[in-house]
Amino acid sequence: MFVQRLSFDVYKPGDVVAKAGTPCNKFIMFIDGEVDALSKLPNIRDSAASSTIRDGVIKQFRPGMCLGEECFETDNYKFPFNLMCTQRCMTLNLKRKDFAEVLLFQKQ
């Protein structure tokens, strides 16, 4: 059931995957590429320049890592930091709503 509910996203270097403080309503699984968790987003006019920025990096997400599982437990969970791609990145996502619907269906 969960597999049918997964969505797939592709990002390019410099793309912002999430902004700190915005609602997190999905579980994100990183399957390819790299994404930096930043304390603040850089002021960039050219997205190609983002690959050289290393200031404010809190953590780096690589294939096999995940983020956002807290959204299944907390209604108002927010992203704790900004996420910006440093390489082409692919993610699999499971929305909170879909997770809850599958669990409810399993209980019936």
pLDDT recorded at residue 45: 43
State yes or no: pLDDT of 104 exceeds 70: no
- CATH of residue 71's domain is 2.60.120.10
By C-alpha distance, which of 40, 35, 7 is closest to 21? 40
Copy the structure tokens of residue 42. 């850089």
The vertex-11 CA angle with 7 and 16, nearest 5°, equals: 105
Per-residue model confidence as pLDDT tens digits over 14-55: 999 999 999 999 999 999 999 999 987 765 444 444 444 566
Full residue range of the structural domain in which residue 67 is found: 2-107
Under the banding of pLDDT at 50, 70 and 90, the label for residue 73 is confident
Per-residue model confidence as pLDDT tens digits over 74-89: 888 999 999 999 999 9
Total structural domains in the chain? 1
